[in-house]
Structure 1
């Protein structure tokens, strides 16, 4: 039996991935829920080490997967992407992809509308865009952390890129209770200096984290005082 810890993207656990457990769990849940909508040639923009490749291609409607990322990314030391790009123009023909996806990428883009326009360009008519972004999240990959988006800004950016308003759906990956669970794990991991105290607080907090996630209700409408840990978008060309 292998002693290798479970994969943080595909099998997140509080024991092994305490600080990232909430976001990894909810991202995997969102990707799984939306997977059946994806199809054909799928281009994963900003793919990193392509952690969801095998999970996505369990959907037989996805016939090929192409991971695209920037040269020099630390994620590529062991897993280079299929295709490199310059962060501006995607190296694909017009109307050549059935699906474009970008998970936790757009917050790092200084040119989100330009990239969304490129994704629109390479999608076939009827093609689907699937993306996720954090809403509540600490600074990360500094200094390449650019934005936090609201549902309204995502709608505007995608419409400016060419998508029709009627084809865009924005949802939340988690609500108030999931956000609180993520805050607890981050505070204990980052702010508690004593390893002994930190480990004790982690053990004590695990039932509370599970309780919060079990009862979390992501908002179905975005109104005053709504909270989203993260957002996902489905849009059609």
Structure 2
């Protein structure tokens, strides 16, 4: 019988989920995840006419060396810097700017337990998108937090996608899902729906490349958010819009690390390089309290009873999630920002 990689990926992920309640979950799912990631990168050659080559063709002419910002020459399986001669491989249609030395710290950060949980979650999301949704207790529980603009394209971020033509938009931290079909996604690993692997502190695009740039809950995970913001502004065209969301009163979540929380005043300062800046709450105070309480409930239950801890957190969510709608009453309250769940910012690059 031949080896069908696609079917093996789905079956492995299904088996991983079936064993999620057992004590050896981490070991089993880690092995499966590493197997899948390795096989995703087996085919490094980009064949003309494939979906991978079509996506790469949309932005390859805008790429630049993250080390010296010089022009890159495209070879069949790599990109070569014209000035420093640095070589960046193309793995399965995805340029990889972290495999040549500069990304060693980021590569190391992907080896920890928190990073592994991130990989597992991303891989499970990918399996659901390709093989259809699978039942999971989280999928039937209501969200404990209310996001004021659930579809960010219909909220303040709509400015990125307005106007004539087909705007080219960069999603910094995108994957495993795309918020928009044609956006270009950047991440630190080759997850599903990632178009290039790179460090957001050194975005490998020429100045003034994109009509719009955005990031969703990314800046808390980078070591120098001000540098990342400066890079996002650099690759944005004059007159283009930048949108970003950052948590404030929100629990620690290592994806793969978690360093920063930003106040409303901090958002204004961080994005002061833009004009016409609008800062507002993405999540309100009640949502912040509910999320924190939902994290505390399992801590009050015995660590030796993981199923009971999960059931306790689920029961809390079922009982109290309706309270999140009180945030609708607080959206315009002058003091709500002091305990908000998170903030958004949208602004325009000066012309």
- The TM tier, using the shorter chain, reads 0.7 to 0.9
TM-score by length of 2: 0.52
Question: Alignment partner for residue 173 of structure 2, among 41, 46, 52?
Answer: 46
On the 8 A contact 2:157/2:346 being kept in 1, the answer is no
Deviation of 1:171 (Å): 0.9
Spell out the pairing of 1:136-155 with structure 2 (5 A cutoff). 136-141=249-254, 144-155=257-268
On the 8 A contact 2:250/2:288 being kept in 1, the answer is no
Give distance in 2, aligned partners of 1:236 and 1:3.
38
Deviation of 1:56 (Å): 2.9
Deviation of 1:142 (Å): 7.3
Report SS of the residue matched to 1:234: strand
Give distance in 1, aligned partners of 2:296 and 2:342.
18
Q: Aligned pair 1:37/2:159, yes or no?
A: yes
Deviation of 1:94 (Å): 1.6
Q: Specify the alignment match of 1:61 in structure 2.
A: none
Unaligned runs of 5+ in 1: 58-63
Which of structures 1 and 2 has the bigger CA Rg?
2
Cα distance 1:111–1:197, how it changes in 2: closer, same or farther (>3 A)? closer
Give distance in 1, aligned partners of 2:231 and 2:259.
19
Report SS of the residue matched to 1:120: helix
Q: Aligned pair 1:182/2:291, yes or no?
A: yes
| Deviations 1:10-40, CA, capped at 9 Å, x for gaps | xx85x34x6xx335x5286162424532221
On the 8 A contact 1:42/1:66 being kept in 2, the answer is yes
Question: Alignment partner for residue 327 of structure 2, among 194, 213, 216?
Answer: 216
Higher relative contact order (CA 8 A, sep 6+): 1
Report SS of the residue matched to 2:183: strand
TM-score by length of 1: 0.74
Question: Alignment partner for residue 96 of structure 1, among 209, 213, 237?
Answer: 209
Cα distance 1:5–1:232, how it changes in 2: closer, same or farther (>3 A)? farther
Q: Specify the alignment match of 1:22 in structure 2.
A: 144
Alpha-carbon RMSD: 3.0
Question: Alignment partner for residue 228 of structure 1, among 340, 347, 350?
Answer: 340
Give distance in 1, aligned partners of 2:347 and 2:185.
20
Cα distance 1:27–1:108, how it changes in 2: closer, same or farther (>3 A)? farther
Report SS of the residue matched to 2:262: coil
Report SS of the residue matched to 1:56: coil
Give distance in 1, aligned partners of 2:313 and 2:197.
43
Equivalent residue pairs, number: 208
